[in-house]
A and B are shown apart, each in its own frame.
Chain A
Amino acid sequence: MREVAIIGASMIKFGRFADRDLAQLGAQAATEALQDAGVEMKAIEALYSGNFYSTSGSGQRVLQQIGQTGIPVVNTANACASGSTAFREAFFAIGSGAYDMVMAVGSEQMGKQGLLGSRGDQATSLEGRVGSYMMPAVFGMAGMEHARQYGTQAEHFAMVAVKNHYHSTQNPLAQYQKEASLDEVMKGRMISYPNTLLMCCPTGDGAAAAILCSMDVARKYTTHPIKVAASVMTSDPYTERDLTLPDVNTLTRNAAKIAYEQAGIGPEDLSQVELHDCFATAELLHYENLGLCNDGEAGKHIASGAPWIGNRIPTKYQEDVAPFQDKSYVPKTKAVVNASGGLLSKGHPLGATGVANIAEIVFHLRGQAGGRQVENSKVGLAHVIGLGSACTIHVLQK
Chain B
Amino acid sequence: MADSTTATPEVRPLVKHLTLGPTRDKDFLNGSRCSNCGELYVGPRLFCAKCSAAGSFETVRLGSTGQVYVWTIVYQATPYVKAPYIAAVIDLDGGGSVNANIVGVEPRPDAMKFGMRVKMSTEKVSEDDDGNSYIAYQFQPA
User: Is B50's CB within 8 Å of the partner chain A?
Assistant: yes
Q: Which of A124, A125, A141, A240 contacts B71 (CB 8 A)?
A: A141
Name A241's closest neighbour in chain B (CB-CB).
B97
**Is the Cβ of B70 less than 8 Å from the Cβ of A245?**
yes
A238-B128 in contact given A130-B137, A133-B99, A245-B89 (Cβ < 8 Å) = no
What are the residues of chain A within 8 A of B126 when measuring CB–CB? 122-124, 129
Are the CB atoms of A126 and B15 closer together than 8 Å?
yes
Q: Which of B104-130 contact A (CB under 8 A)?
A: 109, 114, 125-129
Asked if B74 and A124 sit within 8 Å, CB to CB, the answer is: no
A193 at the interface (CB under 8 A from B): yes
Q: Tell me if A192 and B78 are in contact (CB < 8 A).
A: no
Q: Is the CB of B87 within 8 A of A131?
A: yes
With beta carbons under 8 angstroms apart, the residue of A130, A133, A189, A192 that contacts B101 is A130
Q: A123-B126, A148-B70, A238-B50 are in contact. Are A191 and B76 (CB under 8 A)?
A: yes
Tell me whether B89 and A123 are in contact (CB under 8 A).
Answer: no
Q: Is B62 an interface residue (CB 8 A)?
A: no
CA distance A192 to B78 in the complex (A): 12
- Please, which residues of chain A bring their CB within 8 A of the CB of B99? 126, 130-133, 244-245
In the complex, chain B residues 16-46 whose Cβ is within 8 Å of any chain A Cβ: 41-42
Q: Is the CB of B97 within 8 A of A141?
A: no
Say which residue of B75, B134, B137 sits within 8 Å of A190 (CB atoms).
B75
With A129-B101, A131-B99 in contact, do A141 and B78 touch (Cβ < 8 Å)?
Answer: no
User: Is A119 within 8 A of B75, CB to CB?
Assistant: no
Given known contacts A148-B114, A244-B97, A192 and B76 CB-to-CB distance under 8 angstroms: yes
Q: Is the CB of B77 within 8 A of A128?
A: yes
Pairwise interchain contact A134-B89, C-beta atoms closer than 8 A: no
Using known A-B contacts A191-B75, A245-B89, determine if residue A129 contacts B125 with beta carbons closer than 8 Å. Answer: yes
Q: A124-B128, A244-B97 are in contact. Are A192 and B80 (CB under 8 A)?
A: no
User: Shortest beta-carbon distance, A51 to chain B, in Å?
Assistant: 25
Q: Give the bracket for the number of chain B residues in contact with chain A.
A: 35 or more
Give chain A nearest CB distance to B42 CB in angstroms: 7
A286 to B: closest C-beta gap in Å: 18
CB distance from A144 to the nearest CB of B (A): 4
Q: In this complex, what residue of B is CB-closest to A138?
A: B72
Q: Say yes or no: is A26 at the interface (Cβ < 8 Å to chain B).
A: no
Q: With an 8 A cutoff between CB atoms, is A243 at the interface?
A: yes
User: A116 in the interface, Cβ–Cβ < 8 Å?
Assistant: yes
Which of B49, B70, B81, B109 is close to A141, meaning CB atoms less than 8 Å apart? B70
Q: What residue in chain A is nearest B102 (Cβ atoms)? A: A131
A198-239 interface mask toward B, CB cutoff 8 Å, 1 = contact, 0 = none?
000000000000000000000000000000000000000010
- B89 near A244 with CB under 8 A, answer yes
Counting chain B CB atoms within 10 Å of each CB, the highest count among A121, A127, A130 belongs to: A130
Say if the beta carbon of A145 comes within 8 Å of chain B. yes
Point out the residues of chain B lying under 8 angstroms from A59, CB to CB.
none
Chain A residues with CB below 8 A from B98, complex form: 130-131, 244
Given contacts A122-B126, A130-B99, 20 further A-B contacts (CB under 8 A): A121-B128, A123-B134, A125-B80, A126-B15, A127-B81, A128-B85, A130-B98, A130-B100, A130-B136, A132-B99, A136-B72, A140-B74, A141-B70, A141-B89, A144-B114, A190-B84, A191-B76, A192-B87, A193-B75, A241-B97
